[in-house]
Structure 1
């Protein structure tokens, strides 16, 4: 079985080789200055056999959401960040770029990402931002975490599924994120059968009234559609579905 469910932002469940892999779980309606704009049921998102956390930012390494997981769930986190989960009963595995982990019957290649290493702008806590290539049986998927357009993806290799960030939650993306067209280019460079756009349209900053409707539409509502458009002439099939809808992937 090979299936994918996007719960919103960068939170995705991939079912591969009978294992449920959950990425960067953020399973709340609001945190810090961000509010979940698209109401999406978290459903069975906490039913995970393996969890991958890409980097320290609060919208990816969200401790309250990780506490919702069952005790003993294996969680891969960036090296040096284990202490953030010290008061949980999770099975925490620290990782650095270049590591190869074998967990829950899967092989996880840990890849470097081009993104800030600190917890937040004023934090002194640092850990290397990560991406992941996961293999289970004949199937594989790639999740680069948050990363910039200059990311070296030459070592990723062809995959069945790419979970690629296409937006953000602020007025600008900066050099450490990719926009829909840059994301499409990364997918083409990697090679994938299917590509799912993530990291868009879920969390909006509170108080967006000062933004013109057209700006809000461009920044938050359409990155997924623009990614699909950018992939029209590509080799991968772009997937676009509402939050919480499970997509079966078959050749």
Structure 2
């Protein structure tokens, strides 16, 4: 299995059973936020995609123009309750998954939606009902958390699956009083990784766009420092956009 970090929260997984694109964001802007560095590849060179996984419909995770780079026959797997909004913006087939529901891609890849604590807005602590993480079971088992605040769900997911790689967000967390119910900070991401009992951590949601008040490289710097302090730095696989982990 090959896992490529495209940037922000976008991931390409190439597996013997098929290729998955997760939360693709190829645009140069999210609203008025500009991409800080060029996209590391030409999306026209994507391999054939078996399915696209969308964690939720915030614009930095559901970028409609990015769907133009895949065939209209490619299914989109989305959180339960999101289907109508997605179908209003694309002609691709849509598969809704509730937490703990599964869908198989061919005979080799199983996608399971898992719960995620992600507030619907900055001003309410109530979780959005239309947010998923995903477990991808192919040659290896990968957990993609999407946008998420720290919660007991990480332990639940770690108890339910034998995870090889956890892909967890580490950025967009300041000011903390506004962001704590929306995004983890790097220290919480490290706790979440330990909770999942995964073998490796790939940090995402950092560097490509400055969506909150922390300096762009602060999340990675803190993660490295805390991982070193905990003695698990060899488990942290920091990928620059365009780079891959083969497991």
For Structure 1 versus Structure 2, the TM-score category normalised by the shorter chain is 0.7 to 0.9
Match of 2:92 in 1: 90
1:187/1:15 CA distance change after superposition, 3 Å: same
Stretch deviating more after TM superposition (194-203 or 170-179): 170-179
Distance in 1, Cα, partners of 2:57 & 2:185: 21
1:68/1:116 CA distance change after superposition, 3 Å: farther
Alignment of 1:231 onto 2:216 = no
Match of 1:213 in 2: none
Match of 2:145 in 1: 144
Distance in 2, Cα, partners of 1:130 & 1:197: 17
Match of 2:167 in 1: 163
1:184/1:196 CA distance change after superposition, 3 Å: same
Alignment of 1:96-107 (within 5 A): 96-104=98-106, 105-107=108-110
Deviation for aligned residue 1:171:
4.6
Once the two structures are superposed, residues 155-208 of structure 1 have per-residue CA deviations (whole angstroms, 9 ceiling, x without a partner) of 323311111000127654322211111101111111122211001111125xx9
Distance in 1, Cα, partners of 2:210 & 2:233: 32
Match of 2:29 in 1: 30
Distance in 1, Cα, partners of 2:234 & 2:135: 17
Alignment of 1:177 onto 2:183 = yes
1:111/1:55 CA distance change after superposition, 3 Å: same
Deviation for aligned residue 1:40:
2.4
Match of 1:191 in 2: 197
1:42/1:92 CA distance change after superposition, 3 Å: farther
1:84/1:136 CA distance change after superposition, 3 Å: same
Distance in 2, Cα, partners of 1:128 & 1:80: 6
1:191/1:29 CA distance change after superposition, 3 Å: same
Distance in 1, Cα, partners of 2:60 & 2:83: 17
Q: CA RMSD, aligned part only? A: 2.6
Once the two structures are superposed, residues 111-155 of structure 1 have per-residue CA deviations (whole angstroms, 9 ceiling, x without a partner) of 11101347x98xxxx752111111014x10001111111242223
Q: Secondary structure at the match of 1:155?
A: helix
Structure 1: segments with no counterpart, 5+ residues: 209-215
Match of 1:57 in 2: 58
Q: Return the TM-score normalized by structure 2.
A: 0.84
Q: Return the TM-score normalized by structure 1.
A: 0.82
CA contact (8 A) 1:195 1:236 kept: no
Stretch deviating more after TM superposition (176-185 or 164-173): 164-173
